[in-house]
Amino acid sequence: AVDGWSAGVLWRDLAAAYGARLAGVAPVWPALPVGYVDFAVWQREVLGESGVGYWRSALAGLPERIELPVDRRGVEPSDRGDVVPFRWSAELSAGISALAAAGNATAFMVVQAALGALLARLGAGVDVPVGVPVAGRLDAACADVVGMFVNTLVLRVDVSGDPSFSELLGRVRERCLAGLGHQEVPFERVVAELNPTRSVAGHPLVQVLLAWQDAAFLDVVLPGVVSSPVPLHTGCSRVDLSVSVGPDGNGLAGVVEFRTDLFDRSTVESLIGRFERLLTTVVATPERRLHEIDLLSDTERRQVLDEWVGSTEADGGLLPELFAAQVARSPDAVAVVCGGREFTYAELDAASDRLAWHLVRSGVGPERVVGLLVPRSLEFVVGMLGVLKAGGAFLPVDPEHPGERIDFLCRDAGAVLTLRPEDVFVDSSGEPVPLPILDPRHPAYVVYTSGSTGVPKGVVVSHGGVPVMVGAQVRRLGLGPGSRVLWCASPSFDASVWELWGALGSGAAVVVSRDPVGDLAARGDVTHVTVSPGVLGVLSASVSVGTVVSAGEVLPAAVAARWSVGRRLLNAYGPTEVTVCATVSAPLSSDVGVSIGGPVEGTRVWVLDGWLRAVPPGVSGELYVAGAGVARGYVNRPGLTAERFVANPFDGGGGRMYRTGDVVRWRPDGQLEFVGRIDDQVKVRGHRVELGEVESALAGCEGVRRAAAAVRDG
Ligand code: AMP
Ligand code: MG
């Protein structure tokens, strides 16, 4: 076990022995001033604790892991590896040297700063630890010794505050010089000191190495023999990603070694392309801030800003019109199945007309909210239609919720009146009144979700979004006359808008279920079901339902595998703020993997960094959504509305987009993969919960000063 330097010593000795042999004499070996044992003794007994203090403070608060743009997340990688070579042009290499000289730094420092900047831009955060091997032969007496002297320094690249590259180079230079000043402390000593969590799957302290490689030691000069080095790869990778680079010919060249369990070769090739583009940019414009550096290739730019984004073109309309069209088309078709009884479109239409006239006479109209204190039932459907026809917005309120919450919702949303089940069917004595003319921007419903400040927030969704959503359902789920849609969601979640309008907007029937999970398992008379993956996880997949939509939470691959056999299984994604659904996957099967798919009809999506710039495919970013479905905002929360519904820089028409707080990334096939949340919002059995809401409720209790909430499995 020796280091690279030792190879040069070995080749030289080999040449001496070979030359002596040719000459028929015994080789003469000069005596070595020290041996490897002396070095080992020095390291253990002389060095002691010196320098350890430096590393303790230099590495305080080191991130335990950084996020790399891997192809496969959540795997425990083995050490299987591969390499991809690269070469930079003489021009770029000269530019790197010039940039180094201008900053009183070395070419290595430029490359290190660029690597840190690259990884930061690709999602690694602003504190990027890079392992840097050093020769470790600090004493000239060691120069001729064969042994393992090489050491690894952990150098952090501090990318915080979006510096210019020149500024970053200055920071790297300082850290590099200080680190080199303490390079004698062995890496294992630093690891022992910092005591990070160890894992067989990962190198401690660093996932990325950067080595400066001088290829000269590979030259074996034997008299009468022509030799040339042959690159040989071990098939292993010591860390997740390792870059070695150095002078070669008239430029810089090197290889990137990577763990094949994490990266595909093509991903590493595109990483190398980005590295080169970044270096080319900083050499030309070192004062440019890091976020301004364009990392996209032309193809990628087309994909993430055009091809994969979706289109806001869609057939719109208003909810009463959408329903009226179905009534006109097939008045006698079954619209609702409830408690063993069937109600036709015509019956539903007549009942909701009477309610609408009554509501209009009571002052309901556009911009007015009506509470629906009604459980999942025929009454809810009639109530919802009546309110919408009257031009109002319905506020679904679960009658089983605590009175305090019910009062809060009705008050906060400014409900002008509240309907209970017994208020919904009004007798036929009332005269028709003209119904108001609606605008797609008028609110259609208000749904409350958890609020991080401790108070639930109402999302105001307008009319325009739902018909577009129905259009997407018809196309993606094949909904239409003859379909029977199970209504499982609680009316107080917008998932019930998806179920009810998917049916009523397409001429299908709503099957009202009292016991969604049990019913889903037992009945064979529905064609379409939408449930959370948690429900799918506990049910047997032998149910005879042709189309199952998993929604609301991460769909585990194992659940997807079980439910995708013999039926259409889709994964739908969307926050309440964009009218239920923003993206839907293609039908899942075990060979396509789980994704949340792409934008639905009428919707555009972007994956952006903190500066609202599109990130490259494979790189995590925040998902932003635009289109007819984007809600008007939150009730009575102009500040929060302005924060989440932001101006859309990709819309020349001055539209807004919703910032979801969801972290996603584009797969190479243009499908989105869900990665996680940017904040403390969680899902507990499909329920959206802001941990902050729980914490502030706890902190409001007598005797509690501070509280922290977390989700635990089970
Ligand atoms: P809600 O507004 O209650 O529908 O919750 C929306 C949030 O649920 C999203 O912002 C995501 O965090 C999460 N979510 C919804 N659908 C999915 C999905 N298919 N996969 C992963 N997370 C999802
Ligand atoms: Mg939802």
| Closest ligand 1 atom to Cα of 660 | 10
pLDDT at 216 over 70: no
**Banded model confidence at residue 323, pLDDT cuts 50, 70, 90:** very high
- At residue 313, the pLDDT reads 85
Quote the ligand 2 centre to 498 CA distance (angstroms). 9
pLDDT at 521 over 70: no
> 458 and 409 in contact (C-beta within 8 Å)?
yes
Quote the ligand 1 centre to 574 CA distance (angstroms). 5
- At residue 523, the pLDDT reads 67
The share of the chain scoring above pLDDT 90, in percent, equals: 79
pLDDT at 77 over 70: yes
Closest Cα to atom 8 of ligand 1: 552
Test site for ligand 1: of 683, 687, 690, most ligand atoms within 8 A of the Cβ: 683
Chain segment 362-414, per-residue pLDDT in tens: 999 999 999 999 999 999 999 999 999 999 999 999 999 999 999 999 999 99
Quote the ligand 1 centre to 662 CA distance (angstroms). 8
Q: Phi, psi at residue 114, to the nearest 5°?
A: -65, -40
Chain segment 461-514, per-residue pLDDT in tens: 999 999 999 999 999 999 999 999 999 999 999 999 999 999 999 999 999 987
pLDDT at 346 over 90: yes
**Cα-Cα-Cα-Cα dihedral sign, residues 326, 328, 329, 331:** positive
Between helices 378-389 and 319-329, what is the axis angle to 10°? 120
Chain segment 112-121, per-residue pLDDT in tens: 999 999 999 9
- At residue 409, the pLDDT reads 97
| Closest ligand 1 atom to Cα of 677 | 12
- At residue 548, the pLDDT reads 95
For residues 79-83, give the mean pLDDT. 95
Does the C-beta of 687 come closer than 6 Å to ligand 1?
A: no
Does the C-beta of 563 come closer than 6 Å to ligand 1?
A: no
Instruction: Kindly report the number of other CB atoms within 10 A of residue 568's CB atom.
Output: 18
- At residue 519, the pLDDT reads 66
Quote the ligand 1 centre to 624 CA distance (angstroms). 13
For residues 146-152, give the mean pLDDT. 93
> 641 and 634 in contact (C-beta within 8 Å)?
yes
pLDDT at 429 over 80: no
Q: Which ligand is nearest to the CA of 594?
A: 1
**Amino acid letter, 86:** F
Does the C-beta of 523 come closer than 6 Å to ligand 1?
A: no
d(CA 78, CA 239): 10
Instruction: Kindly report the number of other CB atoms within 10 A of residue 177's CB atom.
Output: 12
**Banded model confidence at residue 220, pLDDT cuts 50, 70, 90:** confident
Quote the ligand 2 centre to 504 CA distance (angstroms). 19
**Banded model confidence at residue 664, pLDDT cuts 50, 70, 90:** very high
Chain segment 159-179, per-residue pLDDT in tens: 999 999 999 999 999 999 999
For residues 543-571, give the mean pLDDT. 93
The share of the chain scoring above pLDDT 70, in percent, equals: 98
Does the C-beta of 658 come closer than 6 Å to ligand 1?
A: no
d(CA 258, CA 241): 5
Q: Phi, psi at residue 528, to the nearest 5°?
A: -130, 130
3-class state of residue 269 by DSSP? helix
**Banded model confidence at residue 227, pLDDT cuts 50, 70, 90:** confident
C-alpha pair distances (Å), 309 with each of 127, 171, 268, 312, 422: 31, 38, 25, 10, 46
Tell me what the pLDDT averaged over the chain comes to: 93
Quote the ligand 1 centre to 585 CA distance (angstroms). 14
Does the C-beta of 662 come closer than 6 Å to ligand 1?
A: yes
Please, which residues have CB within 8 angstroms of residue 581's CB and are 6 or more apart in sequence? 469, 472, 498, 551, 572, 573, 574, 600, 629
- At residue 196, the pLDDT reads 85
Quote the ligand 2 centre to 501 CA distance (angstroms). 14
Does the C-beta of 674 come closer than 6 Å to ligand 1?
A: yes
Does the C-beta of 492 come closer than 6 Å to ligand 1?
A: no
d(CA 518, CA 539): 9
Query: What tokens does 326 get?
Result: 């179905």
- DSSP per position, 230-296: -----SB-SSSEEEEEEEETTEEEEEEEEETTT--HHHHHHHHHHHHHHHHHHHH-TTSBGGGS---
d(CA 365, CA 380): 19
- At residue 714, the pLDDT reads 67
**Amino acid letter, 127:** D
Instruction: Kindly report the number of other CB atoms within 10 A of residue 712's CB atom.
Output: 5
Quote the ligand 1 centre to 580 CA distance (angstroms). 9
d(CA 526, CA 545): 6
d(CA 191, CA 559): 40
d(CA 503, CA 495): 13
- At residue 539, the pLDDT reads 86
Quote the ligand 1 centre to 370 CA distance (angstroms). 27
Return left, alpha or beta for 162; rule: phi > 0 is left, psi -120 to 50 is alpha, else beta. Answer: left
pLDDT at 57 over 90: yes
- pTM (global) more than 0.95: no
Structure-token match 């335990």, residue found:
64
Does the C-beta of 534 come closer than 6 Å to ligand 1?
A: no
d(CA 24, CA 34): 29
Closest Cα to atom 3 of ligand 1: 688
pLDDT at 299 over 80: yes
d(CA 231, CA 543): 57
- DSSP per position, 184-235: TS-HHHHHHHH-PPPBTTB-SS-SEEEEE--GGGG---BTTB---------S
Query: What tokens does 291 get?
Result: 């976020």
> 432 and 361 in contact (C-beta within 8 Å)?
no
Q: Which ligand is nearest to the CA of 576?
A: 1
- At residue 259, the pLDDT reads 96
Quote the ligand 2 centre to 353 CA distance (angstroms). 29
Q: Which ligand is nearest to the CA of 572?
A: 1
Does the C-beta of 672 come closer than 6 Å to ligand 1?
A: no
**Amino acid letter, 615:** V
Does the C-beta of 500 come closer than 6 Å to ligand 1?
A: no
- At residue 269, the pLDDT reads 96
Quote the ligand 2 centre to 687 CA distance (angstroms). 9
pLDDT at 205 over 70: yes
Does the C-beta of 660 come closer than 6 Å to ligand 1?
A: yes
Does the C-beta of 449 come closer than 6 Å to ligand 1?
A: yes
Closest Cα to atom 19 of ligand 1: 573
| Closest ligand 1 atom to Cα of 576 | 2
Test site for ligand 1: of 490, 570, 623, 662, most ligand atoms within 8 A of the Cβ: 662
